Amino acid sequence: MVDSLVQWFTTNLDGLPKELIVFIISMVPILELRGGFIAAALLHVPYLEAVPICIIGNIIPIPFILLFITKLFERLKKTKLLKGPIEKLEAKSLSKADKIQKYEFLGLLLFVGIPLPGTGAWTGSLIACLLEIKMKKAIPAIFLGLILATIIMSFITYGIPFLIKML
């Protein structure tokens, strides 16, 4: 799914600088840093350029989510049109929260850092808010999770292809 979304973005954002495409993809929920690295590799963005672009792109929305998502969701749930989708999003996010709630810092770090479908900084930030994890614990856990995701995605998108070429 991530591959097809990345392909859609790279096709529809054609004409923009490839670094900007990677940055935008890294900011988008679902795709995030993982999608940014895939796009960077597909667009032949050098690794040392891709790393900060993907990290910064993925981290920019996080403070806004941590600060405002709870109040935004409260407002949106007061409307008939959005109450159902917001409650569904909250329930889906909380269904992934058991390990985070149990281990808090480490659980949040691993949730953000291990690149599996439905994980990442956006969902991790939302879960941290819904579980009322303090910001001084959530922010470092999310940031370190992004570093872990960077290491894993670096190996997958740049390391493995490099090793294959060496064979």
Span 6-56, pLDDT tens digits: 678 777 887 899 999 999 999 998 899 999 999 999 999 999 999 999 999
Q: Are 135 and 72 in the same domain?
A: yes
In this structure, are 71 and 127 located in the same domain?
Answer: yes
Q: Is 156 contained in some domain?
A: no
Q: How far apart are CA 110 and CA 119, in angstroms?
A: 9
- Judge residue 68's burial from the number of C-beta atoms within 10 Å of its C-beta, 0-12 exposed, 13-18 middle, 19 or more buried: exposed
| Domain boundaries, position 111 | 61-148
Instruction: Note the pLDDT of residue 2.
Output: 64
Percent of the chain with pLDDT over 90: 77
Residue 22 CA: distances (Å) to CA of 36, 54, 58, 78: 5, 7, 10, 36
Average pLDDT, the chain: 92
63-111 tens-digit pLDDT: 999 999 999 999 999 999 999 999 998 998 888 788 788 888 999 999 9
- What is the C-alpha separation between 88 and 80, in angstroms, rounded? 14
56 DSSP β-pair partners: none
Domain count of the fold of the chain: 2
User: Which tokens is 146 given?
Assistant: 């992004």
For the stretch 78-87, pLDDT in tens is: 999 999 999 9
72 and 143 both lie in a single domain: yes
The verdict on 75 and 102 lying in the same domain is yes
Same domain, 67 and 20: no
Instruction: Give strand pairing partners of 16.
Output: 14
136: in domain: yes
> Do 95 and 135 fall into the same domain?
yes
